[in-house]
Amino acid sequence: MKHHIFLASPHMSEEGFEQEYIQEAFESNWIAPLGTNVTEFEKEMEQKLGAGKAVALSSGTAAIHMALKAIGISQGDLVFCQSLTFSASANPITYEKAVPVFIDSESDTWNMDPKALKEALEAYERVGKKPKAVIVVHLYGICAKIEEITEICRKHKVPLIEDAAESLGTIYRGRYTGTFGDYGIISFNGNKIITTSGGGMLLVNTEDAVEKAEKVLYWATQAREPARWYQHTEIGYNYRMSNVVAGIGRGQLKVLDRRVEKKRAIFEFYQRRLAGLSGLSFMPMPENAFCNCWLSVIQLEKDCPVKPLDIMKSLEDEDVESRPVWKPMHLQPVFAGCEFLSREKELFITDKETGADNSVSGQLFERGVCLPSDTKMSEEDQERICRVLEKLWQIEGM
């Protein structure tokens, strides 16, 4: 019997570090609300990443929400957001009744196109408008052109939020992703490179990081004033990470480098093993970047007779999980009517069924497949996956 292969599943440390930290929490009865695991996890993340201030929260989505609030986003404000991403990057914009404007990707990094961002900022400036924030994503752990984007934002004086939910461990020129923007966010959701079962972290990298982190802590704990009674002057949220969950995080952080190494080995295996399949290419590995390879993603050329859906279906028949590339936000019904800025000036639908268009992000969506990237996979498992793909190419006589 062949076993199921996951796309990416939780992978606790071989040493059982997580259990030790959880045990500590139980013994001290610091199950909730806070305790040393939370504060230590924050410190350990700050040290590991070289971030200003870290605040442990209940999810990556909550971290984006808190970053927007810390910037002061309110009703009607514009926020520029990368279109090719998971909806959680954009949803918090609407929590504050702000207005998302989506920016296309570039083929070099699959992430926000710096040229499209620059043009968008200039076009809005010409009509006297300016976004209150920019959200860039390091999709699948691939590093965006973060220095260029940081520079553009600095020049236009717009705060930058770096969605590093998928890129924990990715390094650009010696610096971890999540530490370039004014704010960075990390996710510890179940399928991410390390997990706490569910959780997230906000990284505050501004000059007034201590103050901003304190403010976020206050909003994230129901906006309780330091009074003897329950006193509130602002609306709060229940967004803080629990001490038990933080214990899992501390254990997982110890094996982050090991997981990155394995993810990279998985990607290299696919590259080596599938190199001969014509019309198939791999996600880019940008220069000067060390990628965590959270998911291994392939692209099929337009005229490739094998289609992404063929691959996903054949893998499913073999009890192997795979996934399409994220469907861009500008193509999502929920964001219909939002502005979208691309270098592609004439947009048209290329796939009636999925609604994909000819933008860079639309094409990455239409032609991409995320291959299983579970760190528990063996080389035999990967071999099994590669044989499924090879067979498809053989059927097509390629």
Ligand X SMILES: *Cc1c(COP(=O)(O)O)cnc(C)c1O
- In the complex with ligand X, the residue whose CB is nearer, 38 or 277, is 38
Q: Tell which one of 22, 25, 67, 88 touches ligand X (CB under 6 A).
A: 88
Q: Minimum distance from CB of 125 to ligand X (Å)?
A: 28
Among 96, 104, 113, 163, binds ligand X (CB under 6 A): 163
The rounded distance, in Å, linking the Cα atoms of 259 and 253 is 10
Identify which of residues 85 and 314 has a Cβ nearer to ligand X in the complex: 85
For residue 54 the two structure tokens come to 């870290």
Which of 55, 137, 158, 300 is in the footprint of ligand X by CB under 6 A?
137
Binding of ligand X by 162 (CB under 6 A): no
Alpha-helix runs per DSSP H in the chain: 17-27, 36-49, 60-71, 91-95, 114-126, 146-155, 209-220, 243-253, 256-273, 308-317, 360-367, 379-395
The stretch near ligand X (CB under 6 A) out of 5-13, 38-46, 82-90, 389-397 is: 82-90
Q: Which of 116, 143, 165, 216 binds ligand X (CB under 6 A)?
A: 165
Task: Output the smallest distance, CB 140 to ligand X, in A.
Answer: 9
Name the residue nearer to ligand X (CB basis): 219 or 393: 219
The DSSP code sequence of 65-129 is: HHHHHHHT--TT-EEEEESSS-GGGTHHHHHTT-EEEEE-B-TTTSSB-HHHHHHHHHHHHHTT-
Of 71 and 306, which has the nearer Cβ to ligand X? 71
Contact present, 136 and 116 (Cβ < 8 Å) = no
Residue from 85, 150, 296, 363 in contact with ligand X (CB under 6 A): 85
If the CB atoms of residues 25 and 370 are measured against ligand X, the closer one turns out to be 370
Cα–Cα distance for residue pair 363/370, rounded to 1 Å: 14
Distance CA 283, CA 271 (A): 10
Q: Is residue 342 close enough to count as binding ligand X by CB under 6 A?
A: no
Please report which residue ranges of 162-294 form alpha helices under DSSP H: 209-220, 243-253, 256-273
365 is a site residue for ligand X (CB under 6 A): no
Question: What sign does the CA torsion over 299, 149, 212, 237 have?
Answer: negative
The reply on whether position 89 binds ligand X by CB under 6 A is yes
What lies within 8 Å, CB to CB, of 364 at 6+ separation is 84, 105, 110, 299, 325
Alpha-carbon span 335 to 98, nearest angstrom: 12
Quote the Cα angle for 191-17-163, to 5°.
35
Query: With respect to ligand X, which residue has the nearer C-beta, 131 or 200?
Result: 200
Residue 242 makes contact with ligand X by CB under 6 A: no
Dig out the tokens for 287 from the structure: 């220069």
Does the protein bind ligand X through residue 181 (CB under 6 A)? no
Nearest residue to 142 via CA among 181, 162, 118, 171 = 171
Cβ–Cβ under 8 Å, residues 160 and 137? no
User: Site map for ligand X, 36-75, x if CB under 6 A?
Assistant: -----------------------xxx--------------
Does 382 interact with ligand X (rule: CB under 6 A)? no
The contact pattern for ligand X, residues 287-326, with x = CB under 6 A and - = no contact, is ----------------------------------------
User: Which listed residue (18, 166, 182, 344) binds ligand X by CB under 6 A?
Assistant: 166
Q: Minimum distance from CB of 188 to ligand X (Å)?
A: 6
Contact pattern for ligand X over residues 183 through 222, marking x by CB under 6 A: ----x-x----------x----------------------
Binding site for ligand X (CB under 6 A): 59-61, 85-86, 88-89, 137, 163, 165-166, 187, 189, 200
